[in-house]
Amino acid sequence: MTITQRRLVVTGLVVAGALAAGAAYYLSLVPATHPDHDHGILNLDAGGRLIVETRNGRTRNLVGAPGHVLVVHFFSTGAPGAAEELGSLFAYEKAAPKDVEFVLIAKEPDFKTLDAWLAANHLEPPSPEALVLDPDGDTTMKLNSKRPLETMFFGADGKLSSQARGVTDWGGGGAESRIAQAKAGTTIE
């Protein structure tokens, strides 16, 4: 092997190593969580990647200050009470203030499966684009959601205002008070 060939091989290995390190760094970017706490990510605006699949086949990164109240609801179609809660959430969403965005994260492989479950349970979402998928559960894990039914309320700045573990009271004042807290800028920590 000539000196030029050795230099090319070494340069190629260095470039490949740098690309692999860069890819590993990019894929590991996630807003900080507190695994010892029982709450989700405290700040969506801390950078990173929280990718979900949208109905139009694209991806959406939930990272960043949304500029309005963001309600992130996690559900599993196999969880007891999931259909009943989604029914009351859909009813609440119809009358919710326009400056509140809902992102409903389902851990399903595709929208065909999710839509079949919605139809079987006689559920019709008022805004189908609010339903997103997290097929591998990666974003759900990164957001530190630990239950099959859980809701996180983020303020306009992307900071976690409150978190409902389990079924949320969408018909009473429970959701309204949490949204009011998020609008006022109240945070968990």
Which residues span the domain enclosing 10?
1-30
Same domain, yes or no: 19 and 42: no
Same domain, yes or no: 23 and 52: no
* CATH number of the domain that residue 127 is part of: 3.40.30.10
Same domain, yes or no: 6 and 51: no
Average pLDDT of the chain is: 88
Q: What is the mean pLDDT of residues 118-136?
A: 95
Same domain, yes or no: 85 and 20: no
Same domain, yes or no: 12 and 95: no
User: Does some domain include residue 189?
Assistant: no
Q: 74-94, pLDDT tens digit by residue?
A: 999 999 999 999 999 999 999
Same domain, yes or no: 146 and 75: yes
What DSSP letter does each residue of 72-89 carry, written as one string?
EEEE-TTSTTHHHHHHHH
Does pLDDT of 32 surpass 60? no
Q: 13-24, pLDDT tens digit by residue?
A: 899 888 888 777
What size, in residues, is the chain? Answer: 189
pTM of the model: 0.81
For residues 164 and 151, the answer to whether their CB atoms sit within 8 Å is yes
